[in-house]
Structure 1
């Protein structure tokens, strides 16, 4: 399967969808009876979905790709149209991506409509249900084990960027507080392309590759970070305020020679106010952020170039190489030379 065939693949009716369609009544997803039920303080019955049982059910229905996914921390499938899910919670992170049409999800008693291109991340333990869908509503579900979401995705996205670190932390806090977060990504062609690539690779047993799937997931989450930053920035601009993410982005782009007063002038802030704003928003001082950005870039150059230590020091904004060595050792407990040796691939003999 290639990317251009994904829409046709999703649009085809499954046997269950044909059954649901022909029955002419709303149908609940048929694998719910595999799961335990608990009762909320409001007296509602809630199914407790687990990743392992979902995976077993999926493998039973898709034996042609079972050997590739039996140990995978990811599970991807199309939600059956003409059906709904009961109230449920789960022990995994779930991404709901509306490929076409629109879908209504009831989350903690609140009904939310997701339109084509919208994506919703649902945390573990949040009570929700997908309401009845029609023929034109194509919903892609991506289930992730908790450890995959935290360690594999977010840590890699935030590893070398102060703005990515901040947005990842913001998303994590929003996820923790609200248990879900919605991204409006209708205008993101890279995300749509990545979803197509992800589905094409996942369901094609001859092209399945865990590395390629992880790469597509990195692209998807990178686009979500961009979407989150853009939306927060627009929200605050409407109230004549600047989003701290825009400030951090400017600092990251000009870290080599910008000063606090330069940043204050760019955003029409008083320098003292800007200093407090940065500290209260990130927990770090302006100087600490500059140091972190410079050292992140120095690490990338040490790992991926043959430049001399002195050249790297100057390139990232340290004119005093002794000071560079001091700050680098404080951050990593290694000298730049030791760091480079540690991250230099060994040559095959």
Structure 2
């Protein structure tokens, strides 16, 4: 399957969807024979979905994909149309992407509408249900073990970027507080293309590749970071405020020679106010942020180039090589030369 065939693959009615469509009555995805049920304080019955049982169902329906999914931390499926789910929660992270159409999700008693291109990440233990869908409402579900979402995705995205680090932390905090987060990504062609690539690879047994799937997931989360930053920036600009993400982005782009006064002038801040604003928003001082960015870039150059230590020191903004060695050793407990030897083959 190639990317151009994905829409027709998703649009095609499955036997289950045909059954729901032809019955002409509301159909609930009844999982009572598979999942445990618990009762809320309000007396509502809630199904407890588990990743392992979903994995078992996937493998039972299609034994040919067992070798691909047996130890998989990630499952991808299309939500059955012409139906709704019961109230349920789960022990995994769920990512819902509206491929076409629109739909409503009841989350913790509140109804949220998602349109084509919208994406919702639901944390574990969130009580929710997807309401009735029609033939045009195609929803792609990605089920992820908690450790896959936190260690494999977010940590890799944030490893070499202050702004990505900050946004990842913001998203994590928002999700931990609200238990879900919605991304309005209708205008992201890159995200749509990444989903097409992900689905094409995942559902084509002959081309299934864990490495390729992980690469597409990194692209997807990178696009979500961009969307989150853009939305937060626009919200604060409307309120005549500056978003700390814009400040961090400027520092990251000018880390080699920018000063606190340069950044203050760019955003029309008093330097003392800016210093406090950065500290309160990130937990780090301006100097610490600049140093972290410089050392991150130094590490990348040490890993991926043959430049001399002196040249790298100057490139990342340290004119005093001795000071660069000192800061590098304090941060990584290794000299630049030792770091290079450990990280190159």
Cα distance in 2 for partners of 1:67, 1:323 equals 52
Change (3 A) 1:256 1:212: same
Q: Secondary structure at the match of 1:28?
A: coil
Q: For the structure 1 residues 125 and 156, does the alpha-carbon distance in structure 2 shift closer, same or farther, using more than 3 Å as the test?
A: same
| SS of 2:33 mapped into structure 1 | helix
1:194-235 per-position Cα deviation (integer Å, ceiling 9, x unaligned): 000000000001000000000000000000000000000000
Partner Cα separation in structure 2 for residue 339 and residue 64 of structure 1? 44
Q: Which runs of 5+ in 1 are unaligned?
A: 345-349
> How big is each residue's C-alpha offset from its partner over 1:71-128, in whole Å with a ceiling of 9 and x where there is no partner?
1000000000001110000000000000000010000000000000000000000100
Contact 1:77 1:142 in 2 (8 A): yes
* Cα distance in structure 1, aligned partners of 2:210 and 2:340: 29
Could you tell which deviates more after superposition, 279-288 or 32-41?
32-41
Aligned-pair CA distance for 1:48: 0.4
Q: Report deviation, 1:32.
A: 4.4
What secondary structure, in the 3-state scheme, does the structure 1 residue paired with 2:124 have?
coil
Q: More displaced, 138-147 or 66-75? A: 66-75
Q: Which runs of 5+ in 2 are unaligned?
A: none
- Provide the C-alpha distance between the structure 2 equivalents of 1:63 and 1:287, rounded to a whole number of angstroms: 56
Aligned equivalent of 2:177:
177
What residue in structure 1 maps to residue 244 of structure 2?
Answer: 244
Following TM superposition, by how much is the alpha carbon of 1:61 offset from its aligned partner in structure 2, in angstroms? 1.9
Superposition deviation, residue 42 in structure 1: 0.9
Q: Map residues 211-230 of structure 1 onto 2, 5 A cutoff.
A: 211-230=211-230
Mapped contact 1:65–1:203 kept (Cα < 8 A):
no
Q: Does the CA-based 8 Å contact 1:279-1:285 persist in structure 2?
A: yes
1:66 — aligned with what? 66
Q: What's the CA shift for 1:66? A: 2.4
Bigger CA drift: 57-66 or 227-236? 57-66
Q: Is it true that 1:158 corresponds to 2:144 in the alignment?
A: no
Cα deviation, 1:152-190, whole Å, max 9, x if unaligned, reads 000000000000000000000001000000000011111
Equivalents in 2 of 1:70, 1:115: separation in Å? 33
Displacement of 1:33 in angstroms is 2.9
Preserved contact between residue 65 and residue 204 of structure 1 (Cα < 8 Å): no
Q: 1:88 touches 1:129 (CA, 8 Å); kept in 2?
A: yes
Give CA deviations for 1:249-295 in whole Å, capped at 9, x if unaligned.
00000000000000000000000000000000000000000000000
1:63 Cα offset (Å): 2.7
CA positional deviation for 1:31: 3.4
Q: Is the 8 A contact 1:100 1:139 kept in 2?
A: yes
CA positional deviation for 1:62: 2.5
Cα pair 2:30 2:86 within 8 Å, conserved: no
With normalisation by structure 2, the TM-score equals 0.99
Give the Cα separation in 2 of the matches to 1:69 and 1:156.
22
Whether contact under 8 Å (1:162, 1:248) holds in the other structure is yes
Q: For residues 289 and 50 of structure 1, what CA distance do their matches in structure 2 show?
A: 40
Large movers: runs of 4+ above 4 Å: none
Instruction: Provide the rounded CA distance (Å) in 2 between the counterparts of 1:64 and 1:9.
Output: 18
SS of the equivalent of 2:58 reads: helix
Please state whether the residue corresponding to 2:281 is helix, strand or coil: helix
Does the residue aligned with 2:181 lie in a helix, a strand or coil? Answer: strand
Scaled by the length of structure 1, the TM-score of the pair is 0.98
Please report the RMSD computed on the Cα atoms of aligned residues, expressed in angstroms.
0.7
- 1:14 CA drift (Å): 0.4
1:189: which partner in 2? 189
Distance in 2, Cα, partners of 1:187 & 1:61: 35
Relative to structure 1, is the Cα distance of residues 340 and 301 closer, same or farther in structure 2, using a 3 angstrom cutoff? same
- Once residues 330 and 177 of structure 1 are traced to their aligned partners in structure 2, the CA distance between those partners, rounded to angstroms, is 35
Q: What's the counterpart of residue 147 of structure 1?
A: 147
**Structure 2 CA distance for partners of 1:45 and 1:31, relative to 1, 3 Å:** closer
